[in-house]
Amino acid sequence: MEKEKQSPRSIAEEERTAPGIPPLVDTHCHVHADDYGAETPAVVARAVQAGVVRMLVIGSDIRTSRLAVEAAEQFASSGVFAAVGIHPHEAATEPSCSVEGKGIPEALRELSSHPRVAAIGETGLDYHYDHSPREQQRNSFREHIRFSAETGKPLVVHGRESYDDLRRILREARGERIRAVVHCFSGTEEDARDFLEMGYFLSFGGPLTFPKNDALRALFRELPEEHILLETDSPWLTPHPFRGKRNEPMHVGLVYEKAAEIRGVPFASFAAAMEANAARLFGWGTERTMGDRTS
Ligand SMILES: [Zn+2]
Ligand SMILES: [Zn+2]
């Protein structure tokens, strides 16, 4: 807490934390007991204090999906929802969905029916780390696409150095008519065009603020507003100038500031558009829960 008090605050940040400030949404964070332990309630409280009214807490395997659902229950009055799924890193450790035809694990099915589960994921393909064999990642991804179609809940997609395969597999599955967000988008203009053409959202976080990411900012500037989401991916990808420290949803405002600045639009109207986009995809409405904004 000491460090926060000492850190410089921008004018926009002062405005945001004043009464009547636009509500913020963090569409992708891992705020559960595995990553924050006993600090989780304080992390959620700091986010609320910073104007965050919705947080989507993401599961990466069955255990953390359960923790995400628990967080969504515990912090329901703070606008926390959950996504449940198997991250491509874990595809090999959950063989029941990485072997074609075996389907989604029963435990995940049960979790997905919880009323505070707003999405399926994160799933996808990570060819940068290759923690699981690529074929198993692809099988798991296909199972999640089918599961998203079956549950009607949108898909949270993770990709790294794998966008060609992501696009190909999503195109093959177009008959499933799923809704999806490609989180922490890091692809090319052609990738972006293809995902938009399929009707999906692209989500952006801390990398938008990193000094050397001019190409990403140039791409971001041209995207249609109604297909953008913003996120932190906490505890990772901390926005500038706090890069290198653990990330928290309270920092999502830094992503919003940079995003509005890049696009040359007023902060408040941009924030309202982002809130509407998230509500449209995740179906969680925009009503305020009592006590959200009190300290
Ligand atoms: Zn991810
Ligand atoms: Zn994530």
Cα 59 to ligand 2 centroid, rounded to whole Å: 8
Cα 214 to ligand 2 centroid, rounded to whole Å: 23
Cα 184 to ligand 1 centroid, rounded to whole Å: 7
Report every protein residue that has its C-beta within 5 angstroms of ion ligand 1. Answer: 158
Dig out the tokens for 65 from the structure.
């999906």
Closest-CA residue to 139 (of 196, 92, 80): 92
This prediction has a pTM of 0.90
Whole-number Cα distances in Å, 76 to 54, 81, 160, 251, 291? 10, 7, 31, 20, 11
Contact 56, 82 (CB under 8 A): yes
Cα 233 to ligand 2 centroid, rounded to whole Å: 5
Closest listed ligand to the CA of 89? 1
Tens of pLDDT along the chain (295 residues)?
333 433 444 444 444 444 556 899 999 999 998 999 999 999 999 999 999 999 999 999 999 999 999 999 999 999 999 999 999 999 888 766 766 557 899 999 999 999 999 999 999 999 999 999 999 999 999 999 999 999 999 999 999 999 999 999 999 998 889 999 999 999 999 999 999 999 999 999 999 999 999 999 999 999 999 999 999 999 999 999 999 999 999 999 999 999 999 999 999 999 999 999 999 999 998 776 544 443 3
Closest listed ligand to the CA of 119? 2
Dihedral of the alpha carbons of 12, 212, 242, 294, in degrees to the nearest 10: 30
Dig out the tokens for 156 from the structure.
């949270």
Cα 8 to ligand 2 centroid, rounded to whole Å: 28
Cα 266 to ligand 1 centroid, rounded to whole Å: 29
Dig out the tokens for 28 from the structure.
């992708």
